[in-house]
Structure 1
Amino acid sequence: MMSDEEYFSDGSDGTFQDDSMRFDDVEEEDQYLEDTRFDKPVKKAYEVDFKVHSDQQIRSGQQAQFEEISNILGLDIGQAALLLRHFKWQKEKLIEQYMDNPDSINKAVGIRPEAHEDTKITKVKDFVCDICCDDGDSMETFALPCGHRYCVECYRHYLTQKIKEEGESARIQCMGDKCTMAFDASDVQAVVDDDTFTRYKTLLDRTYVDDRESLRWCPAPNCIYAIECGVRQKQLNQVVPTVLCDCGYQFCFGCGLADHLPCPCSLVKKWLKKCEDDSETANWISAHTKECPICVSTIEKNGGCNHMTCRKCRHEFCWVCMGPWSEHGTSWYNCNRFEEKSGIDARDTQAKSRASLERYLHYYNRYANHEQSAKLDKELYTKTEKKMTQLQSTSGMSWIEVQYLDNASKVLQQCRQTLKWTYAFAFYLEKNNLTHIFEDNQKDLEMAVEQLSELFEKPVDQLANLKVEMMDKTAYVSSRRIMLLEDTAKGLAEDRWKFNVELV
């Protein structure tokens, strides 16, 4: 594509370099440029903007703010750092209040803008430490601008205890009686050893992230990244801010739990508490064995697929609803829906309690089943890695060509996670026309997931011939998930969903 400079001369009259080009051709090309120059992927309704920060980026971000406040207020870097941490990084509030009454702010924060001639480490003649009572002209001593001087060893012990045992960093005060003078990073570095100072810097980084609403540490074990996201706590009833860390872990920025799309954080909290309170029921319902509906033989579920075949009588049924499998995949499929009992059947308190329990068990059973299936699908993929190697050697496929199994496994696990939380979401939904639309989308996704799961469990000698079918089904399952999440997210944003509990 030609640049704007190639269309126009350097003159101000806007003449064309190519006289043969018609004006309307250029106008169309300019419009094309306008339409495509800033093209970027369209964000889906359930997606949020976020950014991943490394520990180095976090420190650079802090340093930039220190320098900005230092230049504006005429303070050194250490004092600017203390002020920012005291005000929890709210620069506008800090500048406004400091300009109004700097002396009051300095006193509250524990800094003195003026220098003190006896600060830092030095030797003082005839000095006696008031803490350990050691003396000697060769003793190294330390004092903050407040002038409270003690031996370096006492200060080192004090700071090490504060940092390593108490986990303090942002507001460590002088050891003097009732003194509020605060240590900055240069003071700490002058006294403690390298190991303690490294721990001190790590704690400062954590306070920087913890004090800012737009930042959250990735909860994955041993992960060093922080996520920045503009979604605020007050918005969590309208959006589920799912983010993906560079370490590969996907979680909710709002509550820090693992990905729970499409369920808002407040409903997740209520659901998990309800499951915990009904733990005995949950333990019973999540048992790994059930009885065949025909011959009552005990059957153990050992895969992610819900299509079960009794080895004794060969009856095919659904693990979730125990109904005939022949109905699954047809218009009669209703496994995801809960049919409310009529009011006549729930006239007394006992009947109402029973109906309430049945309704809860319906949703919990399906929630727990998808959670269990996701784990089994993941375990199955570990075994499938061997199948991929065998497939590669028997079919002549390259390692790249057998990656369709890897993609199918990831999509299965992702959709199981989504389906799991759709049942928590549905449990709190009020029954109306929108609920039926949601359940239809849920049903379509669930049926597609079961079909892909069945394909995924085929023997290795059949996998090569199923490549195209599995790739198509993987793409279809992904599209059904996107459709469900899009509709749910738009409903939350537009306040279309009505729940039987308050979202708080």
Structure 2
Amino acid sequence: MDSDEDTFDNDNVDSGNVSSGDDDFAMEVDISSSRERQTEPEEYHYEVLTTDQIVQDMVDSISDVNGVVNLPRTITRILLNHFKWDKEKLMEKYFDGNEDKFFQDAHVVNPFNKPNTISVPKVTKSTTDEICEICFSRNPSGMMTGLECGHRFCKQCWGEYLTTKIMEEGVGQSISCAAHGCDILVDDVTVTKLVPDAKVRVKYQHLITNSFVECNRLLRWCPSADCTYAIKVSYVDARPVVCKCGHTFCFDCGENWHDPVQCRLLKKWLKKCDDDSETSNWIAANTKECPKCNVTIEKDGGCNHMVCKNQNCKHDFCWVCLGSWEPHGSSWYNCNRYDEDEARAARDAQEKLRSSLSRYLHYYNRYMNHMQSLKFENKLYASVKHKMEEMQQHNMSWIEVQFLKKAVDILCQCRQTLMCTYVFAYYLKKNNQSMIFEDNQKDLETATEKLSEYLERDITSENLADIKQKVQDKYRYCEKRRKVLLDHVHEGYEKDWWDYTE
């Protein structure tokens, strides 16, 4: 089954998605603004690849390795995938000397030391017939095939096995031999020859292409919906990259560009927001445990006399101090005394949980508010386009009305930055520099809200000149304050000003 045949058809391979196109007004603005951010603080070199270019990059990588190790192309691809498409690491391991282990770890039969046939064909009355051990049918030898491991089955069973793996299980790179317990991987040529359905072959090529991008640390699919492009970089860094579809994201983590917060804190924040941990916090802040059996109890009335509803407990206690209810209403009443150690500890623990929840909700609500506002601001592009047309009817040229487009663009940048500043602030410990950061955050937020207000005003011939001047002044100020905030945070990273509560 060995062959140097190239099984990838560049004309037929794509990522399985539909391109979104880039004639949308909002997207057009986003691209130009994001390209400006690409140069901050220094240029980060990357290229946007189409699916055909991705396939060609994969073919080139295989050719580069083949020029040194001289192996069949299909085996080289399996080896490269095993080493996450790190060509240097592959060649380093290849020349280490332990050849058998090298191929064994990659689940490939050593092409320089092929074993004898493992499974001896069952010979029937006709010496040219073999029995397939999957369907147990008798077939001429020409209808039987297998991998270099020696396991042979009829071509129909192979085809059905491969089709199931590809279409139902979504497996491409890691399809192993159909024999039980054999981990030798199926090569591309075998799949191409044994799968009759063109749709299945195309799906297989999609899976191989996807795996190439996902395994390669220097490549990343654009996370935007329906986008078929991938980004290729020369080195991995937490920097913004801009796809041809207009989407800007962090290459390192794949999330929307999140300056000034670092990837690890953003990841932690998103997990915290999605997790059930905050539900637990609410339970902890709004309920108490029975001091005897530890059952969780929520107060649903005004009376502080609580009776545990656990049938095996029925303990009477005070909701306020968590002490036994028996002394309440007698001369031994001590609930009002704050210096009672046990009650004070219980109240302090409850207050701490409530304070923690309140702090989280403070930052979460502001984070979500800017996220929602950003979605609404994106709708402004359609509104602004209409306003620009209206202004041109008031004797303004097309160039003169571009300030509105620029203003919405900067507004969206500021919303995105402010959203991420609340993630940064949530984990930030208080110090002198954090106070400066919060002042910068306040200034930017105030200016951003004012700019948003200006852009939502109705434009008439009477206020046209006034609106234009105010919008221009305000978006320039927002742009300046955003830069001041980001520069301060970046300086803090360089000088180790920031401490975190993790």
TM-score by length of 2: 0.68
1:68 aligns with 2:64: yes
Q: What is the distance in 1 between the residues matched to 2:487 and 2:176?
A: 52
- The corresponding residue for 1:101 is 98
Note the 1:425-444 alignment, pairs <5 A.
425-444=424-443
1:284-341 Cα deviation digits (max 9, x unpaired): xxxxxxxxxxxxxxxxxxxxxxxxxxxxxxxxxxxxxxxxxxxxxxxxxxxxxxxxxx
Pick closer, same or farther for the CA change 1:349–1:133 going to 2, 3 Å. closer
Contact 2:75 2:108 (8 Å CA) reproduced: no
1:32-85 Cα deviation digits (max 9, x unpaired): xxxxxxxx9994238754432222222222212211222212212112112111
- The corresponding residue for 1:487 is 488
Pick closer, same or farther for the CA change 1:180–1:437 going to 2, 3 Å. same
By how many angstroms is 1:459 displaced? 0.8
What letter is aligned with 1:267?
L
Name which of structure 1's ranges 215-224 and 402-411 shifts more when overlaid on structure 2: 402-411
Pick closer, same or farther for the CA change 1:229–1:42 going to 2, 3 Å. closer
What letter is aligned with 2:207?
L
- The corresponding residue for 1:387 is 387
Aligned mate of 1:205, from 200, 209, 215: 209
By how many angstroms is 1:351 displaced? 4.6
Q: What is the distance in 2 between the residues matched to 1:385 and 1:231?
A: 39
Q: What is the distance in 1 between the residues matched to 2:358 and 2:134?
A: 69
SS at match of 2:401: helix
What letter is aligned with 1:103?
D
By how many angstroms is 1:352 displaced? 4.2
Note the 1:353-368 alignment, pairs <5 A.
353-368=353-368
TM-score by length of 1: 0.68
1:89 aligns with 2:89: no
Note the 1:182-201 alignment, pairs <5 A.
182-192=185-195, 193-201=197-205
Pick closer, same or farther for the CA change 1:482–1:50 going to 2, 3 Å. farther
By how many angstroms is 1:417 displaced? 1.4
SS at match of 1:395: coil
Contact 1:395 1:464 (8 Å CA) reproduced: no
- The corresponding residue for 2:224 is 220
Q: What is the distance in 2 between the residues matched to 1:133 and 1:460?
A: 81
1:130 aligns with 2:129: no
- The corresponding residue for 1:310 is none
SS at match of 1:409: helix
- The corresponding residue for 1:445 is 444
Q: What is the distance in 2 between the residues matched to 1:117 and 1:360?
A: 65
Q: What is the distance in 2 between the residues matched to 1:95 and 1:359?
A: 53
Contact 1:45 1:490 (8 Å CA) reproduced: no
Note the 1:297-446 alignment, pairs <5 A.
348-392=348-392, 394-446=393-445
Question: Where does structure 1 differ by over 6 angstroms across 4 or more consecutive aligned residues?
Answer: 115-118, 279-282
Q: What is the distance in 2 between the residues matched to 1:96 and 1:376?
A: 53
SS at match of 2:145: strand
Note the 1:150-299 alignment, pairs <5 A.
150-192=153-195, 193-229=197-233, 240-276=238-274, 277-278=277-278
Q: What is the distance in 1 between the residues matched to 2:135 and 2:187?
A: 24
What letter is aligned with 1:206?
N
- The corresponding residue for 1:52 is 48
Contact 2:38 2:44 (8 Å CA) reproduced: no
What letter is aligned with 2:148?
P
Pick closer, same or farther for the CA change 1:220–1:146 going to 2, 3 Å. same
By how many angstroms is 1:117 displaced? 12
What letter is aligned with 1:422?
T
By how many angstroms is 1:87 displaced? 2.0
1:92-134 Cα deviation digits (max 9, x unpaired): 332233221223323333234158999xxxxx94344332234
By how many angstroms is 1:464 displaced? 5.4
Q: What is the distance in 2 between the residues matched to 1:140 and 1:130?
A: 13
By how many angstroms is 1:424 displaced? 1.9
- The corresponding residue for 1:80 is 76
Pick closer, same or farther for the CA change 1:42–1:207 going to 2, 3 Å. closer
Which structure has more relative contact order (CA 8 Å, sep 6+)? It is: 2
Q: What is the distance in 1 between the residues matched to 2:454 and 2:42?
A: 29
5+ unaligned residues in a row in structure 2: which ranges? 1-35, 118-126, 283-346
Name which of structure 1's ranges 360-369 and 45-54 shifts more when overlaid on structure 2: 45-54
Q: What is the distance in 1 between the residues matched to 2:486 and 2:215?
A: 31
Contact 2:248 2:257 (8 Å CA) reproduced: yes
Contact 1:262 1:488 (8 Å CA) reproduced: yes
Contact 1:47 1:242 (8 Å CA) reproduced: no
Q: What is the distance in 2 between the residues matched to 1:137 and 1:500?
A: 71
Q: What is the distance in 2 between the residues matched to 1:138 and 1:104?
A: 32
